[in-house]
Amino acid sequence: MVRIEASDEVTPVFIKGWWSQLERSQKLKVFSVILVYFAVFLLSCELYTRSHFVIHRIYLNSLKKAGFPEQPVNYELGIIKGIGYLDEKVFRFQKIWPKVTQNRSTMVEQFLQEQMRDLEGLWMTCRKQIHRANSFRGAAQTTHILSLIVLFMVPSMFVISRVWAVRSTTVSLQLTITTIFVHYAASVDFHNCLMGVRNKVDRALRPTYRITYELTPHILYTLLITVTVCGIPLICMSLVTDCGKRKYACK
């Protein structure tokens, strides 16, 4: 009867010719794992370069200029800024309803465009003043690059030592979480600047601003991708090395 012993002298190594010993279904499973791994890798690259992880919003809810008649329409002006790991974009938002007579509508439209320019001026003031937030953003990018380097070293590290592979996975997760907090710090800093500018605007306009910032669900996607990309190589290589140990331990 075949007896299996896992002695301390047996080291986890890859078996020469292990691929030829696999059945057709097993080879398909291996191909599926590799396909999923690279699909997640490409998804993570696309997510890091295009998605926005911090969203800032500044809305002008109401404005009453001295000597200007009451507004015949409701309106909402806003600027939305999305910050990603590699880029940042600013989106203008303008909503006017309901429709009024053409002449009156044209006058209101001109007034709203003027207020939109003032709103963008507030935004640019903070962008010029905030250096610490930009430093935070640069530090977050550097930290995340380090986490990616460590992350994709895990498969090769597993060949050398399983312990170091687990440590590399832990470090990658810690760096990713650190990146999220650094982005959050930059978001708070920029938000505080917008609040400060709002308090210094001309009181004759009596504006009401609604300023918000939030972390988008992409933060959770980042953690999920990191765990997946780390976990797949660890699970697969653990199975391969364990099978190797069992084969060499058979007596």
The confidence band for 251, taking pLDDT boundaries of 50, 70 and 90, is very low
Instruction: Please report whether residue 106 resides in a domain.
Output: yes
Q: Does 229 fall in a domain?
A: yes
Please give the pLDDT value at position 74. Answer: 52
What type of residue is 109?
A: E
Mean pLDDT, residues 113-141 taken together: 71
Mean per-residue pLDDT, 56-62: 64
43: alpha, beta or left? (left if phi > 0; alpha if psi -120 to 50):
alpha
Residue 4 binned pLDDT confidence (cut-offs 50, 70, 90): very low
Asked if the structure places residue 15 within a domain, the reply is no
CB 134 within 8 A of CB 156: no
Q: Does residue 163 sit within a domain?
A: yes
In-domain check, residue 126: yes
Over residues 8-32, the pLDDT tens digits come to 444 444 556 667 777 788 778 777 7
Determine the 3-state secondary structure of 22 from DSSP.
Answer: coil
pLDDT of residue 235: 63
Give the mean pLDDT of the chain.
64
Copy the structure tokens of residue 25. Answer: 């279904």
The distance in angstroms from the start CA to the end CA of the chain is 9
Tokens of 77: 């002006």
Instruction: Tell me the residue type at 160.
Output: I
CA distance 89 to 55: 10
**High-pLDDT (> 90) share of the chain, %:** 0
In this structure, of 118-132, 134-148, 193-207, the range with the lowest mean pLDDT score is: 193-207
Q: For residue 71, what are the domain limits?
A: 31-235
- Whether 251 is covered by a domain: the verdict is no
**Contact status, residue 54 vs residue 82, Cβ threshold 8 Å:** yes
Phi, psi of 47 (to 5 degrees): -70, -40
Q: What is the pLDDT of residues 71-102, one digit of tens each?
A: 444 555 666 666 555 555 556 555 555 454 45
Rounded mean pLDDT of 145-167? 72
- pLDDT at residue 149 is higher than 50: yes
Give the whole-angstrom CA distance, residue 52 versus residue 86.
9
Assigned domain for 244 exists: no
For every residue of 24-90, DSSP letters joined together read HHHHHHHHHHHHHHHHHHHHHHHHHHH--SEEEEEEEEE---TTPPPPSSEEEEEEEEEE-SS-EEE
Contact indicator for 129, 195 with CB cutoff of 8 Å: no
Counting the structural domains of the chain, the total is 1
Read off the pLDDT of residues 215-240 as tens digits, 9 standing for 90 and up: 665 666 666 666 666 666 666 656 65
For residue 225, tell me if it sits in a domain: yes
